[in-house]
Amino acid sequence: MPLTDHIRNKLSQVPHRPGVYLHKDRFGTVIYVGKARDLRKRVSQYFHPSRRMGWDLKFNALVEAIHDLDWHVVKSEAEALLLEGKLIKEIRPRFNIDFRDDKRFLLLKVNLNDPIPRFTLTRLRKEDGSVYFGPFAHSGSVRRALTMMRRKFKLRGCRPMTPGEADYRHCLYGNLKNCTAPCIGNVGREEYLGQVKAGIEFLKGQTDELRGELEGEMKRAAAALDFEKAAQLRDAIADLQRATQKTEKFERVPYTLPVAMHPESDMRELGRVLGLERAPERIEGFDISNISGTFMVASMVSFWHGRADRANYRRFRMKTVTEQNDFACMAETIRRRYGRLLREMNPGPVPGGEMGDRIGEAAGEPVEAGGADVGGLEAPWLPRAGSKARMPDLILIDGGRGQLNAACAELKALGLEGIPILGLAKEYEEIHLPDRAEPMRLGLDSAAVKLLQRVRDEAHRFANTYNAQLRLKRISESLLDEFPGIGEARKQALLKRFGSVQRLRAATVEELGEVAGFGEKLAGELKAFLLARQG
């Protein structure tokens, strides 16, 4: 695509600073996340004519799809790498390959309440009373720095939670005098805690003394023409600097669901092409998700003034449909959603059957964070959605004529046939209306179609996410049901602690033993059981 005035204006604002950049397509969806030491230079390279003459088909496809970009400035290249990984995991852009798995950056942790505390590497931060350091962008550097720290402060590196005399006989750390061996009483616990606290201060950045020693030794090695040793010491100093460098912790990614450049204009255009009396301020979109008739679920997303309003999302697990039937699933969802809404607006008997499940009420899971997304390039003014129950101005059904007819029949049974409703079919983005035999085709460049696509895609994402959560929960539970000697309380404790079967498999015997109801023996048996069923 040619370099538009909008992109050219954005490029002129990108700073010469480290950070991450986000490319977006014409729907406002993030399609690629990258990092850079110099944002201006890196982002500009995408639009150089010479780069687009290459044979990299993926790169050319990415550039053709870019219609907008954002960036976020950080303090260092290491922070840019950490933020890039977190954004890719959360947004999952389609052009990114790396960082899409569940592997995380390394952390260092130590629990001062342990009988003999030790520093260990982990990838998950837990509420277990430990002191955590990181995450670290360079895993090799932090591993080498940990070895250096253990030698300097004579800290243990053995694996047992509470080592004893039998462990010491085979302990390399103790025999090489790299550890003060508190396990056999060479030093008391308080004295050893002093060593551990010195290590904590070291990781907090108190490294001047050790750095000075290493630099002096490096200079002496260079003067003696022992350049190999000098290079090793130089690398050790670099590892030390990387491991103790302060980095920002990106607990909450400063990025929300992308919205259109002009959501208000899109909303007004949609109202015009549909012939509505006024622009649809509140749009509710529905989608069905199931795999071969299992875990049949539906989602409802809510958009307020063209922006996603997550506080009013709903999701449903089918109660009356027992086999794969998208039409019946859509009918049940519409009946439950608007049956409940009528009850909220008019207390008393209302036709329509059972009420819809609010997130967190039936499933016991938290509501998605955040309220209405109010980003975009227009004025930040946005009317309050309000907490009072109200009918939507437009209902969007993901599907064609069949799904639309099923939804219309349920609305009529509830006396709500006056609510505007449409179906959006994916293949040609055809808009099906109840009173028109032929679908409308407005074209992919239509602002109204873009708004409908955003609602439909968000409903699709939300439904698939719920379906995946249920499948993962079933896999975890069924696997644990096969393990002999585990009751419901222990199973729930494991699932609450680790969350998924993947994390459960990755846990060490020591971590399994920390779960309520598990001892060292049972934890070892569970670990062996999980490994045996890994394939």
Q: What's the pTM? A: 0.47
How many of the other CB atoms lie within 10 Å of CB of 117? 23
For residue 447, what are its two tokens? 């602002």
For residue 297, CA distances in Å to 37, 315, 397 come to 44, 7, 15
- The mean pLDDT of 102-120, rounded to a whole number, is 79
- The residue ranking higher by pLDDT, 142 or 453, is 453
- 5-91 and 482-532 in the same fold: no
Structural domain spans, the chain: 5-91, 106-244, 278-375+387-469, 482-532
Model confidence at 53, in pLDDT bands (50, 70, 90)? Answer: low
Per residue in 193-235, pLDDT (tens digit) is 888 888 787 777 666 666 677 777 788 878 888 788 778 778 7
Angle at 32 between CA 31 and CA 33, to 5 degrees: 140
Superfamily of domain 5-91: GIY-YIG endonuclease (3.40.1440.10)
Burial class (CB in 10 A: 0-12, 13-18, 19+), 12: exposed
Q: The tokens of 105 are what?
A: 């950056």
- The angle formed by the CA atoms of residues 160, 163 and 165, to the nearest 5 degrees, is 140
Highest mean pLDDT (candidates 74-83, 181-190, 307-316): 307-316
Strands 421-425 and 120-122, how do they pair? unpaired
Q: What are phi and psi of 324, to 5 degrees?
A: -65, 115
CA–CA separation, 480 and 495 (whole Å)? 9
Q: How confident is the model at residue 99 (pLDDT cuts 50, 70, 90)?
A: low
Indicate the fold that domain 482-532 takes in CATH: DNA polymerase; domain 1 (1.10.150)
Q: Does residue 158 surpass a pLDDT of 60? A: yes
Q: What is the DSSP string of 437-476?
A: SSPB---TT-HHHHHHHHHHHHHHHHHHHHHHHHHHHHHH
Q: Look up residue 31 and give its two tokens.
A: 């399609």
% of the chain surpassing 90 pLDDT: 20
Q: How far is CA 208 from CA 25, 60, 193, 263, in A?
A: 48, 49, 22, 54
Rounded Cα–Cα distance for residues 156 and 454 (Å): 55
pLDDT at position 237:
74
C-alpha separations of 522 from 37, 62, 90, 115 in Å:
49, 51, 35, 21
> Which two tokens mark 509?
């015997």
- Residues 373-396 have a mean pLDDT of 67
Choices 3.30.420.340, 3.40.1350.10, 3.30.720.110, 3.30.70.2860: CATH for 278-375+387-469: 3.30.420.340
pLDDT at 398: 92
Order of strands, edge to edge, in the sheet holding 68-73?
A: 30-36, 19-24, 68-73
**What is the rounded distance in angstroms from the CA atom of residue 308 to the CA atom of residue 284?**
10
Ramachandran region, residue 443 (left: φ > 0; alpha: ψ -120 to 50; beta: rest): left
Among the listed residues 399, 318, 388, the one whose alpha carbon sits nearest the alpha carbon of residue 357: 318
Query: pLDDT tens for residues 283-300?
Result: 999 998 876 556 788 899
Report d(CA 35, CA 33) in Å as an integer: 7
pLDDT at position 501 is: 67
pLDDT tens string 121-151: 887 777 777 888 777 767 777 788 787 778 7
| Mean pLDDT over each residue of the chain, to the nearest integer | 78
Task: Kindly indicate the confidence band of residue 256, based on its pLDDT and cuts at 50, 70 and 90.
Answer: very low
Window from 78-92, 425-439, 485-499 with minimum mean pLDDT = 485-499
